[in-house]
Structure 1
């Protein structure tokens, strides 16, 4: 399973689990600041609806991420990014409303919510930097990491090193942040294939398969050229056997 899917499923299950603990099991002690409060303060928080509001927020986020995940599986463009943007908006808006449900003395409980928001934001923007590693075998090569896959040399038509790329027409299911373009894209004249681009600067390794394509580059020109030479050598050796 692709790493990006594992991360999304983990976050969805995590939010569903926390909402279950709070809304169904009434385990309010997992909310930061609740356990350290006095019995009187806890009762005031419960009466004000603070724990219930936190649980509902967790449930809303789980539902938003679930819809985003399903739409992504259906190849809806920008489904993942859109779900995370909506999730962050919900986090901040509902955190603000939750703050109003507690007295000033008890507002420290919202530190967990804000910290969680920050952590999730970091996760979202860190995803594009999960590295892809090229691994070359006798009969195939593999790109590990986000949207990684294995391609057999027998399915490859040619490998070339190019200074320019055709225009991207549609991002089918991928990430495009901070100059990284990773995932499934449709490109003019090439059709639908996979990009593993870590830089907008040339050169680009273009691998044409029987029915698709793979395009690779790295942040370093020398590393991209080295990848190309390794792939070309392995491909030629395979064809000569």
Structure 2
């Protein structure tokens, strides 16, 4: 919650620095230009544009943090998507304020298109880096019962042999989660390594919108799982119990 609100406040402060205080040296690329080229940049227009980007995203993240604190975990996904898309738009659209790229007829100067190569490449990399993990993290947990144990598919998953499983039980609430140590937290979907308020390290493969949960004590540590269908979670615990008893 507080991290999201903090990010929102930081964005608004950065927007004020560039837009109102006119600290244009904070604009990437502008501060490395020669004095001559800097005179051909519409700094007032660029400052307003960056300011609007920062104010809008800052307010969205503050509201997202408040709603997250109220228990609406899934709000993080649309806020993050908007940030990525608006950042790519900012990266590409901000080029129009650089008059070094245009001639007197508002046409690209010869070779000016090369200036767009880096923004386009960066945009593609950012979009891929954001969307690929999100796609995998958003998938529902899938578990297969094998002759030798159970296999949890996807990121952070693995095979747990029957002789590694010491105890299983059905729980309706998760332990109090303090923080994520090495995993993904995409809305209500939590996968990977987390730490509880009691400083216990646990593995989570859950969707908090679909309790109950299967709590499994293993020789590797505590693992908590649930499936999209509550009945499927109940059937899974029955299958595990039959094989370890």
Give the TM-score normalised by the residue count of structure 1.
Answer: 0.52
What count of residue pairs does the alignment treat as equivalent?
154
From 138, 156, 169, the counterpart of 2:178: 169
* Structure 2 unmatched runs, 5+: 1-79
RMSD: 3.7
From 49, 71, 92, the counterpart of 1:95: 92
SS at match of 2:92: helix
Structure 2 CA distance for partners of 1:148 and 1:105, relative to 1, 3 Å: farther
SS at match of 1:200: coil
Alpha carbons 2:138, 2:186 under 8 Å: kept: no
- Aligned-pair CA distance for 1:207: 0.2
Alpha carbons 1:156, 1:208 under 8 Å: kept: yes
Partner of 1:137: 146
Kindly provide the CA deviation profile for residues 169-220 of structure 1, in whole angstroms up to 9, marking residues without a partner as x: 2211111112101110112458212100023342100001135111001222
Structure 2 distance, partners of 1:115, 1:94, is: 8
Structure with the greater alpha carbon radius of gyration:
2
- Aligned-pair CA distance for 1:221: 1.1
Alpha carbons 2:190, 2:207 under 8 Å: kept: yes
- Aligned-pair CA distance for 1:124: 4.6
Partner of 2:155: 146
Structure 1 distance, partners of 2:198, 2:220, is: 13
Structure 2 distance, partners of 1:123, 1:139, is: 32
SS at match of 2:243: helix
Partner of 2:25: none
Give the TM-score normalised by the residue count of structure 2.
Answer: 0.51
